[in-house]
Structure 1
Amino acid sequence: MLNTPYTRLIGDRLHGTTPELTPAWVRLDAICVPRSGVPSVAVADGLLMSGTVPGFVHGWFRASTGEWLGVVNYEVRYADGRRESVWLTDQLVPGYALAPRDDGRDATQ
């Protein structure tokens, strides 16, 4: 797991430490923005990169432009509705694409 200057660790030296996972919403529309002037093509078995999905933030970096980038684990589903999905870990996500989440799910779910 990617540790940052803003990663909070939980645990102790005897049993080990792990980064604290903070529940968040990830706005996929803000990450995968269509290019202007390029026609959209529907791909039935592609990844569904729209909507909002649950994720877990475990660190932050600051970009040279001043933007905050969260280090996030989140799941992306396929557009065709299959059960399998892609679990992405240690992804840099712009702070504007993240929002706090409190839906009762813990970091192990």
Structure 2
Amino acid sequence: MSSTSDDVPRTEGTEPELRYPNATGHFYRTVTYPPRPVWVRLEAIVIRDPGTPKHINGAGVIMRGERPGVLTHWVPTVDGDWMGRVTFTVQYADGRPDLHVADQLVPAYALRPRRAEDSG
């Protein structure tokens, strides 16, 4: 384990970021690898308290199932868990265009690898 100049402990995943170009010529900032396709398990992001009544909203976002996303970073938590920095979309129940959600921290347990050609 190394430490910063302030003697604050550092662990893996906190090194300077590398940069990789995407298809449009812009750069993703990544920790140690090019961006990776993942599936985002939406039920693992929004967890309802037991016994909370449901109030259906026909204009709300659908937070069930899995959505394709792109993982660009792994971020460690102070307690030793891992969060992925992920960009993905969420569908609206009323059919509006999908909501684009960029650079969100998602718990590692809500992510799984996806082949790039699998988009849903």
Q: TM-score, normalised by structure 1?
A: 0.79
3-state SS of paired residue (1:69): strand
Shift of residue 9, structure 1, vs aligned partner: 2.1
Cα distance change, pair 17–79 in 1 and its aligned pair in 2 (3 A): closer
Q: For 1:57-108, what per-residue CA distance to the aligned partner results, in whole angstroms no more than 9, with x for missing partners?
A: 00011111211100000000101223x11101110000000000004169xx
Q: Which shifted more, 32-41 or 89-98?
A: 32-41
Letter in 2 for 1:74: F
What is the match of residue 19 of structure 2?
9
**8 Å Cα contact 2:36-2:71 kept in structure 1:** yes
3-state SS of paired residue (2:71): strand
Matched, 1:73 2:78: no
Q: Which has the higher contact order (CA 8 A, sep 6+)?
A: 1
1:1-109 to 2 correspondences below 5 Å? 5=14, 7-11=17-21, 17-19=27-29, 20-82=34-96, 84-104=97-117
Letter in 2 for 1:63: T
Distance (Å, rounded) in 2 between the aligned partners of 1:23 and 1:43:
30
Structure with the larger strand share: 1
3-state SS of paired residue (1:10): strand
Q: Percent identity?
A: 35
Q: Which shifted more, 87-96 or 32-41?
A: 32-41
Distance (Å, rounded) in 2 between the aligned partners of 1:16 and 1:44:
37
Distance (Å, rounded) in 1 between the aligned partners of 2:46 and 2:116:
25
Give 5+ residue unaligned stretches, structure 1.
none
Letter in 2 for 1:9: R
**CA RMSD, Structure 1 to Structure 2 (Å):** 2.3
Q: TM-score, normalised by structure 2?
A: 0.72
Cα distance change, pair 17–55 in 1 and its aligned pair in 2 (3 A): closer
Distance (Å, rounded) in 2 between the aligned partners of 1:93 and 1:35:
19
